[in-house]
Amino acid sequence: MKKKIRVAQYGLGPIGSSIVRLMRQKDSLEIVGAIDKDPAKAGRELGEAVGAPDAPWGVLISPDAESVLEKPLDVIIHSTSSYLTSVMDQLLECIAAGCCIVSTCEELAYPFRKHPELSQKLDAAAKEEGVALVGTGVNPGFVMDKLALTLSAVAQRIDWVSAVRIVDASKRRLPLQKKIGAGMTPEEFHAQVAAGVIKHHGLPESIAMVADGLGFALDDISETIEPVIAEEIIKTEFLEVAAGQVAGVHQIARGVSGGKEKIFMELKMYVGARHPADTVVLKGEPHLTLTIPGGTHGDVATAAVVVNSIPAILAANAGLRTSRDLPLSFFPPDAKP
Amino acid sequence: MKKKIRVAQYGLGPIGSSIVRLMRQKDSLEIVGAIDKDPAKAGRELGEAVGAPDAPWGVLISPDAESVLEKPLDVIIHSTSSYLTSVMDQLLECIAAGCCIVSTCEELAYPFRKHPELSQKLDAAAKEEGVALVGTGVNPGFVMDKLALTLSAVAQRIDWVSAVRIVDASKRRLPLQKKIGAGMTPEEFHAQVAAGVIKHHGLPESIAMVADGLGFALDDISETIEPVIAEEIIKTEFLEVAAGQVAGVHQIARGVSGGKEKIFMELKMYVGARHPADTVVLKGEPHLTLTIPGGTHGDVATAAVVVNSIPAILAANAGLRTSRDLPLSFFPPDAKP
């Protein structure tokens, strides 16, 4: 029998905790450690901290990376921040320990355009250690980029791409409802946007990934963020939004080449959203439309994509990879390592 | 400047000709030869034979493989037969010449279950030569298997899979309309099925690929083929089907594990089909449905998938690959080789 894949979790927010619970279901994974500097978590038993029904597992959460990284490890699952600059040291430390990394850091999903030097540094470090790393998730990482690129395999010519994701935040957790500004006044919303608090990260990364995959030489990627205003009262399990208040975010990003829009991406994430769906359109030969009615559930799918990427990142060539490079599919729970 | 990718086409039926025309649009490809033993084609100029607007290209169709394979070649595109046993010698000859291969042979799309020994032989030969080969197309190779597996990357648990493809053959070429039995009596249809003439190949291959990808240990893959009977008169550009005559084929394949259906695939290809679409359903956590309304056009998409696979097969590890292993997307026309 081959040894199990040894994994550790870096960051135990809601997504990190959900990832840990899912990893526990895979027979071929052994969770050997977890890292979270939050004093409310560090020192606790991991299974209990993530609310696993079969806790305790006998794994303690460490406040620092060193004690976890000194163990023999195959893969670190990393989810601490959306910003690449904030996580560079964490990633480089994991690479130096000889671990492959799957990260939910949105800017890592396709960092070459916004952070070319950091990308180069990560790629070089990973190649030197013979490990691979990838930033992924449902968005960026899947519905608006990987899925669009996969669909593009049946196209003879592509002129324009659109990816639209409409998410009903009513069914999501309270922190997410707050993060999108639900219940704020439009003024509060704009102030929070200006302060960098309200924003879904990843649309420019998805646009850059799709553009490079399709051979579109973009001059510019632009991005806007506006509130969705409630037209009538909206109640969720956690909060209430009055008419005229903010129901959520409406983000649009565009990739432009030679003055022409080549890629359009739109994310509407708000409480009470009607017709939630993920829709990709490729105009060209032939025209192609792909729809996931109801949409891909953000939290469930992000944890899934991350855990399902473990076999692919272990099989990948060393270096900084993206979901564009990796053949992704479900990781069977009883797969042999 | 890097050299172009040198390609040749093996087999110039309707799909092979369509592939050649599409390859001509890619700046990084150089078409250096073509093979077809049909005396009506051999000796003709390739561009003229495939009806290219910019013909002639100065490339002659050879009746035999030897004279083409002795040229330096990177990739052979192979489309001569649906049956792996019929093309083994052709594939082995191309491998021995040091070429990567992308083939439309349906049985090659996932040959491990039906032809384990031939699969092993091809894999070993390819590894010895340091080349890779893949069987692909729209179906098998994409809509019912690769796309379903890609979607599975956002699933935490999968209990059951369905892939349904409904094709309106009215808009397809006459040979295809005849191949699906359009205009026959039900008796003629059943006789043609018994004779092995009428059948779309590939559903068991798609089921085996999906099962292996999802970790379903199947006991059995079953397959049925029945006619779709016209309820009223159907006219196409090429033929007319009376009420009570055959409009096309209806094939169902099932993958069963422990007495339970785990994978269901259905292909309805008939003239006058209503609501043509490709639809994949994954039951599990979460439930996921993906639809391509109108469906993926068989001929256009098959040529596209094949040509778009060229960069992926050149980058792949040596051996017998499948579309499951390869990160597939559009091959930009001005991509650098």
Query: Which has the closest alpha carbon to B76: B35, B120, B121, B137?
Result: B35
pLDDT score of A298: 85
**How far are the Cα atoms of A69, A75, A91, A100, A193 from residue A72, in angstroms, in the given order?**
7, 10, 17, 12, 42
A158 lies in a domain? Answer: yes
Condensed to tens digits (0 to 9), the pLDDT of residues A284-295 reads 999 999 999 999
Chain B residues with beta carbon closer than 8 angstroms to that of A149:
329-330
Considering the domain architecture, whether residues B195 and B218 belong to the same structural domain is answered as yes
Q: Is B22 on the interface with A (CB under 8 A)?
A: yes
Domain count, chain B: 2
SS3 B242: coil
Considering the domain architecture, whether residues A98 and A150 belong to the same structural domain is answered as no
- Return the beta strands (E) in chain B as ranges: 5-10, 29-35, 61-62, 75-78, 100-103, 132-135, 157-168, 220-229, 234-235, 240-241, 246-257, 260-270, 277-285, 288-293, 319-321
Average pLDDT, chain B: 96
A334 lies in a domain? Answer: no
pLDDT score of B84: 98
pLDDT score of A280: 98
pLDDT (mean) for B186-204? 96
Structural domain span for residue A260 = 146-295
Please tell me which residue of chain B has the smallest CA distance to A138: B154
| Contact state of B150 with A146 under an 8 Å Cβ cutoff | yes
pLDDT score of A175: 83
SS3 B211: helix
Considering the domain architecture, whether residues B154 and B291 belong to the same structural domain is answered as yes
Task: Tell me the residues of chain B between 275 and 294 that have a Cβ less than 8 Å away from chain A.
Answer: 285-286, 288-294
B329 closest CB neighbour out of A213, A291, A304: A213
Nearest-Cα distance to chain B for A126, in Å, is 20
Considering the domain architecture, whether residues B242 and B317 belong to the same structural domain is answered as no
B332 closest CB neighbour out of A151, A215, A286: A215
Percent of chain A with pLDDT strictly greater than 70 = 99
A165 lies in a domain? Answer: yes
Please tell me which residue of chain B has the smallest CA distance to A211: B332
Q: Is B158 on the interface with A (CB under 8 A)?
A: yes
Considering the domain architecture, whether residues B266 and B126 belong to the same structural domain is answered as no
In eight-state DSSP terms, residue B60 is B
| Contact state of A329 with B153 under an 8 Å Cβ cutoff | yes
Considering the domain architecture, whether residues A288 and A312 belong to the same structural domain is answered as no
How far apart (Å, rounded) are the C-alpha atoms in residues A42 and A36? 6
| Contact state of A153 with B303 under an 8 Å Cβ cutoff | no
Nearest-Cα distance to chain A for B308, in Å, is 6
pLDDT score of B174: 86
Considering the domain architecture, whether residues A189 and A169 belong to the same structural domain is answered as yes
* CATH for A48: 3.40.50.720
B329 lies in a domain? Answer: no
How far apart (Å, rounded) are the C-alpha atoms in residues B172 and B258? 40
A271 lies in a domain? Answer: yes
Considering the domain architecture, whether residues B120 and B36 belong to the same structural domain is answered as yes
Nearest-Cα distance to chain A for B247, in Å, is 25
| Contact state of A330 with B153 under an 8 Å Cβ cutoff | yes
Considering the domain architecture, whether residues B122 and B52 belong to the same structural domain is answered as yes
pLDDT (mean) for A258-273? 96
Chain B residues with beta carbon closer than 8 angstroms to that of A301:
154, 286
The one-letter amino acid code at A243 reads: A
Q: Is the pLDDT of residue B1 over 70?
A: no
Condensed to tens digits (0 to 9), the pLDDT of residues A53-72 reads 999 999 999 999 999 999 99
A68 lies in a domain? Answer: yes
Please tell me which residue of chain B has the smallest CA distance to A23: B156
A235 lies in a domain? Answer: yes
pLDDT (mean) for A196-207? 95
Non-local (6+) Cβ contacts of B66 within 8 A are none
Angle, nearest 10°, between helix axes A14-24 and A298-308? 50
| Contact state of B154 with A146 under an 8 Å Cβ cutoff | no
| Contact state of A327 with B332 under an 8 Å Cβ cutoff | no
Considering the domain architecture, whether residues B263 and B289 belong to the same structural domain is answered as yes
Condensed to tens digits (0 to 9), the pLDDT of residues B239-260 reads 999 999 999 999 999 999 999 9
Say what the pTM is.
Answer: 0.97
B153 closest CB neighbour out of A157, A285, A328: A328
SS percent in chain B: helix, strand, coil, step 5 = 30, 30, 40
Predicted confidence band at B58 (pLDDT cuts at 50, 70, 90)?
A: very high
Q: Is the ipTM of this complex over 0.90?
A: yes
Q: Is the pLDDT of residue B337 over 80?
A: no
pLDDT score of A337: 58
Considering the domain architecture, whether residues B129 and B10 belong to the same structural domain is answered as yes
pLDDT score of B298: 85
B335 lies in a domain? Answer: no
Chain B residues with beta carbon closer than 8 angstroms to that of A324:
327, 329
Condensed to tens digits (0 to 9), the pLDDT of residues B69-121 reads 999 999 999 999 999 999 999 999 999 999 999 999 999 999 999 999 999 99
Considering the domain architecture, whether residues A40 and A170 belong to the same structural domain is answered as no
Instruction: Tell me the residue length of chain B.
Output: 337
**What is the gyration radius of the CA atoms in chain B, in angstroms?**
20
Nearest-Cα distance to chain A for B34, in Å, is 21
Q: Is the pLDDT of residue A228 over 70?
A: yes
pLDDT score of B205: 98
CB pairs under 8 A between A and B: 143
pLDDT score of B3: 87
